[in-house]
Chain A
Amino acid sequence: ETGVTQTPRHLVMGMTNKKSLKCEQHLGHNAMYWYKQSAKKPLELMFVYNFKEQTENNSVPSRFSPECPNSSHLFLHLHTLQPEDSALYLCASSDGSNQPQHFGDGTRLSIL
């Protein structure tokens, strides 16, 4: 039990589909993050939310659309993705600045 839950664990979708990834944290943290992890590459920060407000968008294509309705939930809406978007998408949360980040188990996304 990591305290950060992601669903689904695996997702296969076509390039024309629309799907959403969900993240929920049970730790009372006020910051949440989306990362992309591809093989042989460092973890790439995508989005940061602090107290439900987006504070960072790390030059992510518009086919990825985040949503943070409250401090405990974070979504990543996907549409018209490309094969190179196949990766592990990780959600994390932290209790503000300079505190350790707690990660979920990720969603393994495959684009056909």
Chain B
Amino acid sequence: GQSLEQPSEVTAVEGAIVQINCTYQTSGFYGLSWYQQHDGGAPTFLSYNALDGLEETGRFSSFLSRSDSYGYLLLQELQMKDSASYFCAVNPVAEVSTLTFGKGTMLLVSP
């Protein structure tokens, strides 16, 4: 089975850098994904790490270390609009893409 752990809440100020960690226990997976969900909205895909290392997409970066069963999402130059919930998810080894999600981290960005 799979289980993922994330902090429930993180707070930061505009312009700062914040790291949201995700530790997992899984029997095997293709990769680690990150999704953003604003209150009342749909989860939207942010990034995907199939291999160890850092993936950068603009202000957002994601990191995976399979040997440490650990990943993180790094958000730089924080803006108020980044206040949202962030979910890590793993793609278990399967024929059809299924996702197992963490409980999510609520990020609160203040002025």
Contact = CB atoms under 8 A, between A and B. Distances in A.
B96 A101 contact: no
Contacts of B87: 42-43
Interface stretch (B12-20, B63-71, B74-82, B101-109): B101-109
B98 interface: yes
A34 B57 CA distance: 28
Interface residues of B, number: 27
Contact of A97 (B35, B42, B97, B104): B97
Nearest to A3: B42
Interface string A38-63: 00111101001010000110000000
Interface stretch (A13-21, A72-80, A103-111): A103-111
Contacts of B43: 43, 90, 92, 103
B102 A101 contact: no
Interface residues of A, number: 27
Contacts of A4: 42
A42 B97 contact: no
Contacts of A55: 95-96
A49 to B, nearest CB: 9
Interface of B: 4, 30-31, 33, 35, 40-45, 48, 50, 87, 89, 91, 94-104
